Amino acid sequence: MAKARCPRCGQGPLFTGLLNLREKCSSCGLDYSAIDTGDGPAVFVVLILGAIVTGGALWLEVNYEPPIWLHLVIWLPLILVGSIYMLRRIKTALIHQQYRKLGW
């Protein structure tokens, strides 16, 4: 899977902070303003991570009936860390696909 780097040169980082895109590549100067992934990354995260967390929570509840605090300790950090991680990875993949297929 592609690193969170410029789709043209592979050197300059795509993001400032966790999920904000830079204005342009700091290495080759590629303008990032044409990037439009829309709601694509969020849709994939909701569908994939939602299925994992919902299935996991159901399985845990049916088999072990743990107290609610244990569900919170397990699933809340997984949702928080997992969604940010997946958003970065999927957004990067969609940006690289957009650049490869359409260019700008």
Chain residues that interact with Zn ion, rule: CB under 5 A: 6, 8-9, 12, 25, 27-28, 30
Minimum distance from CB of 17 to Zn ion (Å)?
Answer: 19
Instruction: Say how far apart CA 56 and CA 70 lie, in whole Å.
Output: 13
Minimum distance from CB of 101 to Zn ion (Å)?
Answer: 18
Residue type, 85: Y
Minimum distance from CB of 28 to Zn ion (Å)?
Answer: 3
Instruction: Give Cα separations from 11 to 2, 60, 75, 97, 104 (angstroms).
Output: 12, 43, 35, 17, 18
Beta carbon nearer to Zn ion, 27 or 97: 27
